[in-house]
Each structure stands twice: as structure tokens, then as C-alpha cells.
Chain A
Amino acid sequence: MNVTLKIWRQKNAQAKGKFKTYPLQDVSPEMSVLEMLDYLNMQLIEKGDAPVAFEHDCREGICGTCGLYINGRPHGPMRNTTTCELHMRAFKDGEIIYIEPWRARAFPVLKDLIVDRSSFERIMHTAGFISINTGSAPEANSTPVSKIIADKAFDAAVCIGCGACVAACKNSSAMLYAAAKIAQYAMIPQGKVEAKERVDKMVRQMDAEGFGFCSNTYGCEFDCPKGISVDFIALMNREFFSSKVCKQKHK
């Protein structure tokens, strides 16, 4: 199949970027979008042009590294699919495909399609963990967790931190990401111990990073490649209110 690519090219973080058009022939429908970009880059390198910079790692939908805004949607037209899992058969022969980087103040473009997502990491650094001493593994049955709760917490923990929620949100809000990271701990006994301080710190950091505020459009849920539910945002809001109301003053 043949496609026409319109790709955002930007030399570095300071440079002004623009779209460049690349007609690409003989694309196999079995290629993933990333393989199609590899194929394009090989041709660009042979011509002596700079290849299109894009992030990728596992190429099996679990690392969260890849993330391109394809034809008006993060990770392209298929639901519950990361960019690396998206195949060219999802597009029509002769289609014009726009490929853009995530757009958000908190995700500045570094080069071409690569954005700096360390704002996500800084949210995690504040309290996205459980403070327990490492050592030998504790007795598994000493802290019972119901299967239902464990599964629900896992539904939040499947977040790969790709940033599609921010890219999809009309407000560039990171609420679904923060909610998933907070909820995965807030529901299980090990995480409940520090739940109040955690939600307070992580929400504060999220706001400081320059993400927008949630207006409950639920676009994040629609485009999350892992299908994370906005129910977790409600859980985060609930945790946040209770942390504000119940928080004790520490000397």
C-alpha cells in the first residue's frame, strides 16, 4: 500500500517545528506504525536526510515509550492499542496520515516526535511508592487482600505511563495518569498506610507541572491504550478530599 505521511519535524527543543510531507510507497499492511517509520527512516538515511526521531522500546505494548498522535488520536484510530501495536492495515491505501508529538505544556517537544515526559516521573518521585524496608519476603497470608480488590488495583496498575491521557484530554490534564498511580496503592492494605500523604503530594506535583484541570470529558478513558477507567479519577478525588479534611498537623 501507498500512504502520504505528514510528520512534525523539529530540530530541537528551541527550534520552530513544521510539518513535512513524505510520500511512502510499498508499505506492507503487516508493518506496525513504528516499522513503517523505520522503513521511512532507512530511505531518509540513504538520501542523506535526518531520520524522523521517535521513541520506542519494547514494541509489544507494555513499556509506554512509544506514543504518537496519529490522525487526531493518541496511538491512532484503534482503541486499547499502543502505537507499536498499531498496524498499517488500520489505514486505507492512499491515506494521508498526520503524525504529531503529544501536545502539552508539561510535555515539551525535544526533537521531532519525541517529548519530554519527565513531568510524569516527578509526580511519581513525590510519593508514588510504598515506604517499606526491603528484606526477606513477608509471609504472603499475613496481609489478606480480597481477589476483587487485588484485581481492581491491578486494573489501575496496568498504566504504562505513555501520556496518551494527557494527549487526548482537551485540557491536557494528567488526572487519569495520577489517578491510576494513586489508586493502585490506595486500594490495597500495604498502600493504605501512606494513602493520605501520597494523594496530597502527587496531586500537588501534578498541578505544579502545568497540566490542565479535569473537566470530566472522559476523553482519556476513550484513548487510554490500557483501558483505564475514569472511576479511578473519582477515587483519587475522594482520597484527595478526605486527605484535606482529615490531615493532621505535624510538628
Chain B
Amino acid sequence: MALAGIFLMLFLVSHLLTNLLMLAGDEGKAFDQAVELLGHPAVKIVEYILFAAFLVHILLGVLLQLINYNARPVKYKKAPRTEISTFSRYMFHTGVIILVFLVIHLINFFFVRLGWAPLPEYAEHSHDFRSMAVVLFQNPWYSGFYVVCMLFLGFHLKHAFQSAFQSLGLNHTKYTPAIKIIGTLYAIFISVGFAIIPVYFLFFYSS
């Protein structure tokens, strides 16, 4: 769970940095160059590892939720008042929201690249993610959905980052407090970073 999660967290950084190139103000040249790298054999290998990481993380998440739910057959009558962070309480729920987003996201972009989904008429070719993104993001509903999902991704990551260290036993009196702060900053960076892209294309961009 933690190892797959850490790989996914690294992936999110690379994905976000690539996406932010769309805002570079060069009509997407830098972004397109980055997208071309996706065809590189080394990237292909990492892509397979990425799929494995997603699969392991999702399946383990569902399995854990089932086992944990079954570990308490009779629930408490009085709602628990044990203080735990809201983010940690709803990891499975935020995970499901992210999964729904992931499926829609794959259909919109990745499947087009593979040719599994039809090429939208506004896209020049199957790797023209920028055109696809620009059109999708100019739809307020899509942008709104995207931003909300990124918010939940942030909630998920807020707990996930420090939790991964704890699960792997990487805990230290000196460094753990720093890890918690870095985790919060990381969650904000990823969440806000992804969310500003649709906001930009919706409100500040005219082609």
C-alpha cells in the first residue's frame, strides 16, 4: 500500500510539472515536447510499473477496507468520539472519488492516445493533449468537476504522505515532524497545482 502509494506520489509530481508546461505561454510547445517523451521506451517501462502501482494500490485499498469493515461485525450505537483527523477517517472514500476521476481522465486522454476512444474533432492528433484539455477545461462543468476532484486528491495526500512513512517504519523523533509538514505542503502543491490549470483555461485564456 505504502510503497505503491509512494510511487504514485512521485508520478503525480512528474505529471503536474508536465501539465504546468501548458501555462508556459509558448502556445504549448514545451508541453508538446514533454508529451513526445511519452513514446520513449524507458517511459513505456515506467508506464507499466505505474499501472501495476495503481492496480496494487486500488486492490489493496479495497481489500483492506473489506477486512477492516468485517473486523467489527457489531458497530457502536454511540457515534465514536475518538479524535482522529478527518482526512485519515475518509481515506477510502476520497480514494473512490479519485478512482472515478481516474477512469474519466483515462477515457478523456489516455484512451485517445491508445486509439481506444475516438479522436475529438478539435484535436490534431492522438497526442494533442493540450487541445483536448483546453476544450474540456472551457466547459465550466468539467472544470468544476476537475477542481473538486483535485481537492479530494489533496485530502487523500494530506494523510497519505506521512502515513506511508509510518507504515514503512520510517519514523524519527527529529524528522517525523518535518515529514508531516512536508506532506501537508506536498498535498497543497499537488492539489492547487492541478486545479489552477482548468481555472486558467476557463477564466483567463482566449485562443
Give the interface of A toward B (CB within 8 A). 6, 8, 19, 69, 71-74, 77, 98, 100, 103-106, 109, 168, 170-173, 210-219, 222-223, 230-231, 233-241
Contacts and interface: CB of A to CB of B under 8 A. Distances in A.
5 closest residue pairs by CB, A with B: A238-B169, A234-B171, A212-B71, A72-B81, A237-B169
Interface residues of B, number: 34
Contacts of A230: 166
Interface stretch (B24-32, B85-93, B103-111, B114-122): B85-93
Contacts of B80: 72-73, 168, 170, 219
Contact of A219 (B82, B165, B166, B170): B82
Contacts of B173: 231
14 contacts: A6-B77, A72-B82, A105-B72, A171-B64, A213-B67, A215-B88, A216-B163, A223-B82, A231-B173, A234-B171, A235-B169, A235-B171, A236-B169, A237-B166
B77 A172 contact: no
B39 interface: no
**Residues of B contacting A: mostly:** loop
Contacts of B165: 234
A77 to B, nearest CB: 8
Chain A CB within 10 Å — which of B89, B168, B171 has the most?
Answer: B171
B159 A216 contact: yes
Interface of B: 64, 67-68, 70-85, 88-89, 91, 159, 162-163, 165-171, 173, 176
A interface: dominant SS: mixed
A73 B72 contact: no
Contacts of A72: 76, 78-82
B67 A100 contact: no
Contacts of A218: 84-85, 88
B88 A237 contact: no
Contacts, number: 112
A100 B76 contact: yes
Nearest to A17: B74
Contact of A217 (B73, B89, B171): B89
A172 B65 CA distance: 12
A233 B78 CA distance: 28
Contacts of A213: 64, 67-68
Contacts of A98: 77-78
B167 A170 contact: no
Contacts of B68: 170-173, 212-213, 215
Contacts of A239: 169
Contacts of B64: 171, 213, 215
Given A173-B68, A212-B68, A215-B64, A103 B84 contact: no
Contacts of A74: 82
Which of B169, B170, B173 has the most A CB atoms < 10 Å from its CB?
Answer: B169
B73 A216 contact: no
Contact of B76 (A103, A216, A234): A103
Contacts of B73: 105
Contacts of A238: 168-171
